[in-house]
Structure 1
Amino acid sequence: MHNTVYDSTVDNRDYFNSIYGLPPNISFPNPFGFGIMNTFEDPLTVGPSNTSMALGRAQGFYVLNGYKEYTLFHLFTTNITEGQSKGTIDIFGQLREVDPVCLLTVVGGTGAFVGARGLASCTLVEMDHTPPAKWTLSFGLDLYY
């Protein structure tokens, strides 16, 4: 899953796939962005390169929900449109930047994945904070249906 955040300072309007909403209305320091939401539609590929074979798109949002550490609560649907198995997989859970592997919950699916449940193990492959911020996540799925 490849994420590129919109950044007006580098004018990447032609190739971004996620955007932050307005920050919370607070007047004190907020070092971990608590309460900020990002909506995304990220490409899904077979491998870690964004030029790898496309599988589909992940559409959803995350909220920065850690007040004392950098954590993101994700809720998204993967739309698998290529390959033998087509359908959607619904995933939610929290990612902590400090964890090498995070486990998220699979709560449903459609098509080839109808009724799916299980775990999505998420690993950070690459992160680049240079504007525009970009990162790549790798997912392994243990599905039951």
Structure 2
Amino acid sequence: MARYHELADALREQIASGARPPGEPVPSADRLAHEHGTGRDTALKALRLLRREGLLVLGRDNVVRVGPAQLRTARGAPGRPPTIIDVPPEGVVRARMPTPKEREELALPDGVPVLVVRLGEDEEVHPATGTGMRWPTG
């Protein structure tokens, strides 16, 4: 695996775990390169990859930050009923772009987000297209 993919995976995990919350500035490419023992070009490639995936955004102040959660319309295949996931009251659901491994495992085309259901330390990853979430009422 290319080194910039490894760095992107490490940053993705920090974002997914909440260690880097939405809006938080991301260290500069120079600092990331130093912290991860890579070159500046490698860090820049990783940052570009995560920006293309929508996980990082360039702010008006020219600072790269963790992107906000984005709502997207889920569209299932015609004639196919949606998958409904029951989310317990203490569950947390986040939308994000999939990792390359998740994209391959779920057979997702580029640009399709995933929904991550977290309950304590456990996580389930579902394609956002054709998936609905149901919370208990009351």
Fold agreement, TM-score > 0.5: no
Please state which band the TM-score falls in when normalised by the shorter chain: under 0.3
> Greater CA radius of gyration, 1 or 2?
2
| Structure with more helix by fraction | 2
Q: What's the TM-score once normalised by structure 1's chain length?
A: 0.25
Select the structure that is richer in strand: 1
Structure with larger RCO (C-alpha < 8 A, sep 6+): 2
